[in-house]
Structure 1
Amino acid sequence: MSDPRPDKDIRPTPLDHTPTAPSTGATLIAEAFGTFLLVIGVISTALFAAGFGEGTDAHNKGVGFLGVALAVGLTVIAGVYAFGPISGGHFNPAVTFGLAAAGRFPWKSVLPYVIAQIVGGLVATTIIVLIGLFGPDKWLSTAQAGGFASNGWGELSPGGFGIGAAIVVEVVFTAIFVFVILGVTHSTRGTKFAGLAIGLTLSLIHLATIPIDNTSVNPARSIATAVYGGVLPLSQLWVFIVFPIVGALIAGFAFRPLFDGVKNA
């Protein structure tokens, strides 16, 4: 939350519950752990459980898109309440950029946070690869050939949508996500149930957009899967780095003029 004392050098965060400021190292480790939890939760669900039984069982026992959407929401809720009081619980470079644009987070801390988030996401998908090495015959190669749950358009879009759809989705839904975060963590209008609202919003976003581009709204998640997804996901990765950040910046810069009547400096 933004601090009313502009002369004090603090690190404002969405969930400001820590009575004493944690060290920089602690905040970065918390961001890495939270992003790790988010990525391993949603990508494990997508790869191990979403289509479980497909092609072999007429009564598919897979969790499908609904299960993946719930998984991402549950991991965010857990991560925000576990690590939010330490780091603010961003777990997403786009969120970090959006909070900075809204004056809730110092620009000088954006790069360290983003690096920690990317590292946490990569560790998560690396562990999934290690699990896959001990899986059924050709499970890992098949998962990688299918893009490893990477974001994308065309061949990588579950519904066959094009690049234009992916761009619109990432800008609009990331902006919505950041608007919700800024609203529920507001210094005077926020709620103690911010973590729940944020997690449920992310589940809703996934329910609406997984068929379009596998839902990013988080560059760290996109990087983590594209690294193991092959040439095509890597070639399309730029969209899922650039446009979630664009959406987040739009929301961040617009929030105060729209809802607080305060002009951005």
Structure 2
Amino acid sequence: MSLEVQAKYDRGYQDEGQGLVEVGNKPTSGAPKYGDDDDLLPVVLERYLEKAGVMQKLRPYLDVTGQVKNEFARCLMAEFFGTLLFQMFGGSAPAKDTTAPAANGFALVAVIYAFANISGAHINPAVTFALICTGHMKWWKGLLYMIAQILGAIFGALIYTGLIPTLHLGAGTGSPGCFGPAAGVRNGDVFGWETVMTFLLVMTVYAAAVAKPGHGNTAPLAIGLSLYAAAISGGQYTGASLNPARTIGPAVVFTCNVGISFLYIAAELFGAALAAGLSIFLYGRAPASVRTTI
């Protein structure tokens, strides 16, 4: 199935009048057929897990093909691993290097392409919060998305802690992926920059991937470029987080800039709310069928 980025932020349901399509491959029915050499590893792994008692615990959550049965559980897994990878490759980029904005922009493009068909690839609590505001997602599902994203960012930071020499838990300010204002930048400046940069990112998400007609399979490129542009312009002042999960993850792992992290998060959610309000004005709220099902 081709990547349906057109609907990746409208998880799961179709309204014919609005052009929203279901994304994600449906589990196939029937018992798995093994026998080819390529299938040997899954068989051995499954038998090992069976002996260890793991499969017995997992089986209620799997269908006959071994895929995750609960569609929403698959979404949460996608958000977790997507944010983990985004944190790992974006957060480990040298902050003072001019290539850091590109690393973050391209990493975001990659994870959106990788997970859009499963969860919509929000990869950002600010994006999820905006979709709740516009009615594209129920609040409780959005909250679980945010938790998965934050946990993903924490684990992503933990992984590169073990991969970067001399880096350790609680390393403090200056650790890879930590966000804090540059010298001389006031708190009001931080709030302003993070607000407008997050606003740009979320508006790009809506224009490219949520509102119709959208930009199809090029939407991830537009979203990644919006992050790249924001990081080039405002990154020199705030580091350009634009993402509460990316703010929280390193702060938890390295205990860096914990006090000002709340200012970053407030600005990012405020920018997302502003973008949601303008999107409602320009494009309208989510159609009724989406509001009652997602």
Tell me if TM exceeds 0.5: yes
* Amino acid aligned to 1:38: F
2:190 to 166, 175, 197: 166
Worse overlay, 169-178 or 97-106:
97-106
* Amino acid aligned to 1:43: G
2:233 to 205, 208, 213: 208
In structure 2, runs of 5+ residues without a counterpart are 1-6, 28-69, 289-294
CA distance in 2, matches of 1:242, 1:140: 28
TM-score, normalised on structure 1?
Answer: 0.79
CA distance in 1, matches of 2:242, 2:230: 9
* Amino acid aligned to 1:164: G
- Paired positions, count: 233
| Contact 2:76–2:144 (Cα < 8 Å) also in 1 | yes
1:196 to 221, 232, 235: 221
1:256–1:19 Cα change, 3 Å: farther
CA-CA distance at 1:102 after TM superposition: 2.0
2:150 to 118, 131, 148: 118
Q: 2:120 aligned with 1:92, yes or no?
A: no
CA-CA distance at 1:219 after TM superposition: 0.5
Q: 2:77 aligned with 1:29, yes or no?
A: yes
Identity %: 29
CA distance in 2, matches of 1:263, 1:84: 19
CA-CA distance at 1:140 after TM superposition: 4.5
Q: 2:40 aligned with 1:17, yes or no?
A: no
| Contact 2:242–2:268 (Cα < 8 Å) also in 1 | yes
Q: 2:261 aligned with 1:260, yes or no?
A: no
* Amino acid aligned to 1:229: F
| Contact 2:25–2:117 (Cα < 8 Å) also in 1 | no
* Amino acid aligned to 2:250: T
CA-CA distance at 1:228 after TM superposition: 3.2
1:202–1:24 Cα change, 3 Å: same
Deviations 1:17-58 (A, max 9, x none): 325497111000000111011110111112xxx56xxxxxxx
1:92–1:229 Cα change, 3 Å: same
CA-CA distance at 1:110 after TM superposition: 1.1
1:189–1:224 Cα change, 3 Å: same
CA distance in 1, matches of 2:170, 2:80: 28
Q: 2:172 aligned with 1:144, yes or no?
A: yes
1:194–1:115 Cα change, 3 Å: same
In structure 1, runs of 5+ residues without a counterpart are 7-11, 52-63
* 1:56 aligned partner: none
* Amino acid aligned to 1:33: F
CA distance in 2, matches of 1:176, 1:20: 34
* 2:87 aligned partner: 39
* 1:168-183 alignment, distance < 5 Å: 168-183=192-207
* 1:219 aligned partner: 244
* 1:71 aligned partner: 103
TM-score, normalised on structure 2?
Answer: 0.71
SS in 1 for 2:240: coil
Deviations 1:131-158 (A, max 9, x none): 23xx2xx5548963524442122xxx2x
Deviations 1:198-231 (A, max 9, x none): 111111111111111111110100111112333x
CA-CA distance at 1:253 after TM superposition: 2.2
* 1:130 aligned partner: 162
CA distance in 2, matches of 1:145, 1:195: 31
CA distance in 2, matches of 1:33, 1:263: 27
Worse overlay, 232-241 or 108-117:
232-241
SS in 2 for 1:189: coil
CA distance in 1, matches of 2:186, 2:121: 32
CA distance in 1, matches of 2:115, 2:268: 23
CA-atom RMSD, angstroms? 2.8
CA-CA distance at 1:120 after TM superposition: 0.5
